[in-house]
Structure 1
Amino acid sequence: MSLKVILLATDFSTRSDRALRRAAMLAKATGARIVVTHVIDDDQPEKLVSLERQTADTMLREIVGSRAELADIGVSHVVGSGEPFVGIASVALETAADLIIVGSHRRQILRDVFVGTTAERVIRFGEIPVLMVNAEPHAPYARTVAAIDLSDCSKDAVIVADRFGMLEPGRTILLHVFDPAAKGMLSYAGVDAATIERYVSAEENDTKRAIEGFVASAGLDPRAYPVMLKEGRTATVIRETASEIPSLTVIGTNGRSGLLKVLLGSVAEEVLQKAEYDVLVVPPKAPLEAAA
């Protein structure tokens, strides 16, 4: 098991409380230790920064010392500073965290459009997987839906989730959003339904064979992981499938571009913003992938 250090970022809200309980469940299942952090704004007068740091330290100590969920788990705390996403990413590097856990974001549509959620921005500025906890954590994850698109980034996500113990055979479905490229053109050209159906079936078989090779290249047994092929808009299909099968969703990001802005990619970003269940997002070049 490669999950050794979990960084739990808290703003002392109910959302963060859900994240704490999920972090405790994962730590007990894997033997990982937890580092709890709160990030304060250091762009203000020094006396106010000092006061907020002391207050945050006191509250973190209370969490570490009083929460029953954290009993028998190695737990420490760190007060970070700066913008929330920068502070969290910095503490993650300082503590050699394997996974960052955050609570769900406030669904403020205009704010999210312009600045993104904290979870998204942590991923943009770091290389450490992020688990955003949306649902009440009543028990360990019963099911996992791993969204795959046969890319290297998708493979990274599968490898990392497996090493975290989140892709158990019998409890994991590999979801691939299937797009038979010529289907629409054939229909537009007036090709009969039976011919189109045969074409789609052949494309499905080819895709399933490609997925088997993909799974094997990630070090997993293809026979142990059922594949679900669905047609539709990718982000919508992923969210709807996770709702139909209440589960953890695993998704990789599609790389980076730009000198000043790191892009998550529209699919991962939309899934994070609108998901009702927990989402594990693995950025490019996550530490566990590099160690493979």
Structure 2
Amino acid sequence: MKTYIVATDLSARADRAFRRAFSLAREHGARLIAVSVVDDTLPDAIAARLSAEMVSELDRLCEADADSGKVDYETRVLLGVPSKTIAELAREEKADLLILGIHRPRPFADTVRDTTMQRIIRLANCPVLLVRDPATKPYQTVLATVDFSPACAAAMKAAHKVAPKAKLVGVHALHIPYDGFLPAGGDVQFRAEAEAALTEWREAQKIPESLGTFSIDTGVLNEVISSAIAEHRPDLIAAGAHARAGLVRYFLGSFTTRLLHDPPCDVLVAPPPPRVER
């Protein structure tokens, strides 16, 4: 049986993450854990009062779903540092998916340090679904950013599990340096190399032809993805947390970081699969 976790700070848009979490849990027959975290540096009396209030609010959010009785769910309020505590819970429960609502914007603070949401994604060992929009229907179109990394492949596969009936479109941005100075047809070699890399990546990551369609578009990454969003109007974007494994496992890629700051729709971020020791 799958295990999903929905984590919330009980902010104004918490209901969106809860509705999507219950919808997915119901659709996939998953067990659902609804969790909120109380800062463990608070005085004991205040922490105890907040915990009791959070339990009531979590129960209210869960019961607000019309079909909550059809989902095997439980609520938990934990003490600790939110990002670390939620990531540890996901690891302990062997969660298949961690579901979060968008964070409260803090224009200055968000420019100088990670948000709690970003820290959770960095620490989590499972895919994380960031819910921005009201969960009024199943996902229809998934746009996957393709950078030929294991994390990108993991995000695409996770998105397919979350939305198996959705149309999936993969887009790779081919940046050609000094393309304005190239002669006519001078980009042919760059495109051929990118197409070969795409084929090699799909074979290495075992991505079947049936999973979706892929395109290689020339241009700067942000512009290519913006054009793809305008063309396909996705309701879910899938992205790898980081381009490579190893030490950079603990850092989000720059594009993913920008995407999380101002998501155009729901976003699913996945870490690369764990290395297999030989």
TM-score scaled by length of structure 2: 0.87
1:234-273 aligned at under 5 Å gives the runs 234-244=221-231, 245-254=233-242, 255=244, 262-273=250-261
* Residue equivalent to 2:26: 28
CA apart distance, 1:167: 5.6
Decide whether the 8 Å contact of 1:146 with 1:172 is kept in 2.
yes
Work out which of the residue numbers 276, 280, 288 in structure 1 matches 2:264. Answer: 276
Structure 2: gaps of 5 or more residues: none
Instruction: Say whether 1:149 aligns with 2:147.
Output: yes
Counterpart CA distance in 2 for 1:76 and 1:90 is 17
Contact kept, 8 Å, 1:212 with 1:222, in 2: the verdict is no
Instruction: Quote the residue 1:92 is aligned against.
Output: 90
- Tell me the amino acid that sits aligned with residue 272 of structure 1: L
- 1:110 to partner: Cα distance: 1.2
1:132-147 equivalent positions in 2, closer than 5 A: 132-147=130-145
Other structure's SS at 2:13 match: helix
**Residue type matched to 1:135 in 2?**
D
Equivalent residue number for residue 129 of structure 1: 127
> Which stretch of the first structure deviates more once superposed, 94-103 or 141-150?
94-103
User: 5 Å matches for 1:1-292?
Assistant: 4-162=2-160, 164-166=161-163, 168=165, 171-181=167-177, 183-184=179-180, 187=181, 191-192=182-183, 195=184, 198-222=185-209, 225-244=212-231, 245-254=233-242, 255=244, 262-285=250-273
Q: 1:172 to 1:252 in 2, by over 3 A?
A: same
What is the CA distance between 1:32 and its match in structure 2? 1.1
Q: How many Å apart are 1:8 and its aligned residue?
A: 0.3
Deviation at 1:258? 6.6
> How many angstroms does 1:211 deviate by?
1.7
Which moves more between the two structures, 225-234 or 170-179?
Answer: 225-234
Conserved? CA contact 2:19–2:65, under 8 Å: no
Task: Provide closer, same or farther for how the CA distance between residues 224 and 157 of structure 1 changes in structure 2, counting only shifts above 3 A.
Answer: closer
Q: 1:139 to 1:38 in 2, by over 3 A?
A: same
Shift of 1:96: 2.3
Deviation at 1:18, TM superposition (A): 0.7
Distance 2:171 2:127 in 1: 20
Q: CA RMSD in A?
A: 2.6
**Deviation, structure 1 residue 236:** 4.7
Q: Please give the per-residue CA displacement for 1:189-234, whole angstroms capped at 9, x wherever unaligned.
A: xx54xx3xx2324432442343233223333333652212223332
For this pair of structures, how many residues does the alignment match?
274
Task: Call closer, same or farther: CA 1:16–1:236 in 2, change over 3 Å.
Answer: farther
Displacement of 1:76: 0.7
8 Å Cα contact 2:150-2:273 kept in structure 1: no
Amino acid at match of 1:56: M
Paired residues of 1:38 and 1:56 also in contact (CA < 8 A): yes
C-alpha deviation, 1:165, in angstroms? 4.0
Question: Runs (4+) of structure 1 moved beyond 6 Å?
Answer: 256-259
| Inter-CA distance 36–215: structure 2 relative to 1 (3 Å threshold) | same
Deviations 1:132-152 (A, max 9, x none): 111222211100011111122
SS in 2 for 1:68: coil
Which stretches in structure 1 are left out of the alignment for 5+ residues? none
Q: TM-score, normalized by length of structure 1?
A: 0.83
Bigger Cα displacement from structure 2, 55-64 vs 171-180: 55-64
